[in-house]
Amino acid sequence: MKKIIIFALAALLCSFSLAGCSGDSEDGVPGKGVWQKKTVNYTARNADGTGDDTTILEVYLYYSDEAYTQNLRSGVTIDPGLTVIITASSDSKTTQLAQQLIGNKYVMKHYEKGVSLNDDTAEDVEDKDSIFKMTVGDGSWRVIYTALLVSGNTVAQTETPEPIRKGKDYSQIAYDAEEIKNNLSWKRLLIALLES
């Protein structure tokens, strides 16, 4: 029920101009051009099919028409569109996913503007609320951003996220690496972000 209320509110707010709520956002689109950080309880099915494995993740989201270039570590690029970065919270050390992300590791996925959020059709995730019919753009970002605000514990970042910040020692794991694919569904992560 909470998820339905969040999406109804997000859709309603999306139909109005939210420029008054957006602070220094790009083009009057709330949260655009500003990193957003959210802590998420991400639950995945154990690899052996028994029980659930819950990992506390730190998730950073960035949506913009411009490439992000501020204070980035060498070799890191953030292109225009929607970028999602995840790390395991220090409170989460026992799950398979957390074990893969321990030691300052992160996973980053990028969606170009105009691309469907349903870019991995192999992932079998029920989509009752038609989340994955959205394509990346100002309208879908308004829905995502509004849902993040309504669901709480989302914080706008005033600086570059630590995993990609110059002077920080993190290493990137490819989002399509087999060990990550076995423990992380990007569709489930997006659902967890919007309903938690």
Tens of pLDDT, residue by residue over 73-95, are: 999 999 999 999 999 887 766 78
Quick one: pLDDT at residue 102? Answer: 81
Distances (CA, A) of 115 to 111, 136, 170, 176, 187: 6, 6, 28, 18, 14
**pLDDT confidence tier of residue 44, bands split at 50, 70 and 90:** confident
- Mean pLDDT calculated for residue range 42-56: 70
Q: Would you place residue 21 in the very low, low, confident or very high pLDDT band (cuts 50, 70, 90)?
A: very low
pTM, two decimals, is 0.82
Domain ranges of the chain: 2-195
As given in the structure block, the two tokens for residue 50 are 């028994």
What tokens were used for 60? 């950073």
Nearest-angstrom CA–CA distance, 40 and 184: 13
Q: Would you say 44 and 183 are in contact if contact means Cβ atoms under 8 Å apart? A: yes
Using CA atoms, how far apart are residues 49 and 42, in angstroms rounded to an integer?
Answer: 16
Q: Please give the full DSSP string across 52-102, using - where no structure is assigned.
A: EEEEEEEEEEEEESS-B-TTBPTT--B-SEEEEEEEE-TT--SSHHHHHHT
Q: What is the distance in angstroms between the CA of the first residue and the CA of the last residue of the chain? A: 12
Three-state DSSP state, 185: coil
